[in-house]
């Protein structure tokens, strides 16, 4: 008996046409698992899914499916960066004023290791009215990009988000960041003519460190001096603030030499960034002076999901989760999930092709090499065509004998049927 070979796992033709995901879950349930795994710890996903859909899965399934979806999105975004570098497509238009901020946050990895996740936030700067009726810069329409990698690689991978937001064609770009060098290299790469603004709370923190070193932390003298200088820093002349710092009475401190070193370090830090602390002019132009958007992103996008109690992440699984959360926080979940589904189907097709090649290896040399031609001396003589023997007593010289069935008379039934056919 012959039997058909066992069927392989794959997509039904209609599934491929409808672009359905592979697996036992429906498209809606698969997306629900990915969304829940992006929002809450994996151990909470099964009970939440049962509550909303009455479908039961285990924690490992929730983790595996969420991380696979995130990994697919990482590949999609990496491919987009490569496409932009290769094709140099036109940049979409950007807003009149755009804010660009970046920062890092530490996350726990397995084996007690900690690593820095870098996050980029891009937003559109508008105006809103404060409680006292005065106008103030407000940054909205925020989008995020986050990765666990070195500064150079992060700068390159952020190309996709920078391109999508039209940063190169924005009217003015305000790069509001702290003083880390890698941040300015990122700005140099994507918008070198951006207005560099030192984050105001960051600058105020440096001024506070000098005052606390001289007057003592929490003292009335330190609070009084800082109250005046913070107002000068935000609304006055930066040179006036620098002069006040140089005039601090370091000789009256308990440790004059150490206090002077702290004061001089603060003065040197702010002098080097003199053009980045002209906050009065920035406010007059309607520019933002704080990087609270990226600091908030560190908390709600990164730490809220990756820095929970008892969490320790394998390095390979950090970027997939960051990609999913960035897409969700940027308001692009639906678009991102469609890309994830397509990428997962492509990966499944590639795995199927590799398994097929492993089961049925192809001898490529036999295909490429032409078949060997036998030599003339080795060629065998052709045999004459065989003559089929005629049945004994039925055929003579190719003609039927009287005893042949063809010569027998037709029966009455055959004649009757033939007559009716003619009628």
pLDDT tens-digit profile of 141-164? 999 999 999 999 999 999 999 999
Cα–Cα distance measured from residue 83 to residue 330, given in angstroms and rounded to the nearest whole number: 22
Mean pLDDT of 67-96: 97
What is the secondary structure of 36-52 as a DSSP string? HHHHS-GGGHHHHHHHH
pLDDT of residue 361: 75
User: Does the structure show a pLDDT above 90 at 113?
Assistant: yes
User: Does the structure show a pLDDT above 60 at 74?
Assistant: yes
Span 330-381, pLDDT tens digits = 999 999 999 999 999 999 888 888 888 888 776 555 555 555 555 555 555 5
pLDDT of residue 356: 83
Cα–Cα distance measured from residue 125 to residue 143, given in angstroms and rounded to the nearest whole number: 13
Burial of residue 169, with CB atoms counted within 10 A of its CB: 0-12 exposed, 13-18 middle, 19 or more buried: middle
The band of 119, judged by pLDDT with boundaries at 50, 70 and 90, is very high
Write b or e for each residue in 282-291: b if 16 or more Cβ atoms lie within 10 A of its Cβ, otherwise e.
Answer: bbeebbbbbb
pLDDT of residue 249: 93
Other C-beta atoms within 10 Å of 101: how many?
Answer: 27
CB 107 within 8 A of CB 114: yes
pLDDT of residue 179: 83
CB 176 within 8 A of CB 197: yes
**Of 60-64, 287-291, 388-392, which range is least confident?**
388-392
The band of 123, judged by pLDDT with boundaries at 50, 70 and 90, is very high
* Phi, psi (degrees; rounded to nearest 5) at 175: -90, 95
**Of 23-32, 56-65, 91-100, 139-148, which range is least confident?**
23-32
Cα–Cα distance measured from residue 73 to residue 44, given in angstroms and rounded to the nearest whole number: 23
pLDDT of residue 16: 53
For the chain, the domains span: 13-88+314-355, 92-198+290-310, 200-288
**Of 83-92, 175-184, 401-410, which range is least confident?**
401-410
Of 384 and 225, more confident: 225
Cα–Cα distance measured from residue 298 to residue 203, given in angstroms and rounded to the nearest whole number: 19
User: Does the structure show a pLDDT above 90 at 6?
Assistant: no
Mean pLDDT of 99-128: 95
Strand order in the sheet with 195-198: 135-147, 114-129, 97-108, 172-177, 195-198
Cα–Cα distance measured from residue 240 to residue 289, given in angstroms and rounded to the nearest whole number: 19
pLDDT of residue 124: 97
CB 211 within 8 A of CB 237: no
pLDDT of residue 253: 86
What percentage of the chain carries pLDDT values higher than 70?
80
Span 257-298, pLDDT tens digits = 999 999 999 999 999 999 999 999 999 999 999 999 999 999
Nearest to 155 by CA among 203, 192, 106: 192
Longest Cα–Cα distance in the chain? 143
Mean pLDDT of 217-242: 95
DSSP state of 375: P
pLDDT of residue 4: 59
Of 100 and 16, more confident: 100
Other C-beta atoms within 10 Å of 386: how many?
Answer: 6
Span 186-216, pLDDT tens digits = 999 999 999 999 999 999 999 999 999 999 9
pLDDT of residue 267: 96
User: Does the structure show a pLDDT above 90 at 397?
Assistant: no
Mean pLDDT of 375-401: 60
Cα–Cα distance measured from residue 262 to residue 250, given in angstroms and rounded to the nearest whole number: 10
pLDDT of residue 24: 76
Question: Number of helices (H) and strands (E), helices first, in the chain?
Answer: 18, 7
Which helix (H) or strand (E) segment holds residue 101: the answer is: strand 97-108
Q: Read off the pTM.
A: 0.79
- Structure-token pair, residue 309: 């109690």
User: Does the structure show a pLDDT above 90 at 221?
Assistant: yes
CB 174 within 8 A of CB 100: yes
Average pLDDT, the chain: 87
What does DSSP say about strands 195-198 and 172-177: parallel, antiparallel, or unpaired? parallel
Residues 6+ apart with CB under 8 A from 119: 102, 103, 104, 105, 144, 145, 146, 294, 297, 298, 301, 302
How big is the chain, counted in residues?
A: 423
pLDDT of residue 403: 72
């Amino acid at each position: 008996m012959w039997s058909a070979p066992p069927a392989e796992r794959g997509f039904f033709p209609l599934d491929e046409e409808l672009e359905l995901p592979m697996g036992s879950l429906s498209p809606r349930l698969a997306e629900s698992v990915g969304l829940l795994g992006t929002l809450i710890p994996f151990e909470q996903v099964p009970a939440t899914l049962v509550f909303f859909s009455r479908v039961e899965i285990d924690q490992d399934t929730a983790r595996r499916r969420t991380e696979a979806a995130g990994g697919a999105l990482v590949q999609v975004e990496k491919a987009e960066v490569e496409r932009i570098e290769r094709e140099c497509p036109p940049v979409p238009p950007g807003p009149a004023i755009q804010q660009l901020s970046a920062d890092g946050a530490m996350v726990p990895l397995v084996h007690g290791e900690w690593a820095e996740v870098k996050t980029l936030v891009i937003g559109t700067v508008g105006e809103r009215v404060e409680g006292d009726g005065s106008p103030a810069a407000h940054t909205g329409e925020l989008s995020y990009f986050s990765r666990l990698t070195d500064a150079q690689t992060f700068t390159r991978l952020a190309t996709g988000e920078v391109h999508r937001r039209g940063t190169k064609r924005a009217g003015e770009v305000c790069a509001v960041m702290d003083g880390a060098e890698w941040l300015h290299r990122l700005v140099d790469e994507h918008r070198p003519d951006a207005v560099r603004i030192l984050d105001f709370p960051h600058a105020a923190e440096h001024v506070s460190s000098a005052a606390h070193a001289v007057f003592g932390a929490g003292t009335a003298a330190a609070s009084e001096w800082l109250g005046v200088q913070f107002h000068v820093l935000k609304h006055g002349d930066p040179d006036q603030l620098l002069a006040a710092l140089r005039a601090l009475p370091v000789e009256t401190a308990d440790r004059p030499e150490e206090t002077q070193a702290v004061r001089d370090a603060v003065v040197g830090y702010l002098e080097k960034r003199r053009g980045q602390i002209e906050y009065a002019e920035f406010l007059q132009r309607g520019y933002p002076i704080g990087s609270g958007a990226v600091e908030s992103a560190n908390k709600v996008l990164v730490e809220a999901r990756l820095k929970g109690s008892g969490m320790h992440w394998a390095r390979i699984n950090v970027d997939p989760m960051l990609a999913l959360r960035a897409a969700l926080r940027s308001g692009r979940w639906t678009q991102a999930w469609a890309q994830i589904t397509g990428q997962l189907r492509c990966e499944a097709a590639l795995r199927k092709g590799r398994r097929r090649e492993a089961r049925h290896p192809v001898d490529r040399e036999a295909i490429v090499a032409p078949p060997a031609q036998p030599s003339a001396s080795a060629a065998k003589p052709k045999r004459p065509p065989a003559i089929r023997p005629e049945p004994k007593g039925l055929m003579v010289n190719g003609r039927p004998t009287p005893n042949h069935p063809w010569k027998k008379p037709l029966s009455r039934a055959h004649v009757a049927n033939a007559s009716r056919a003619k009628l």
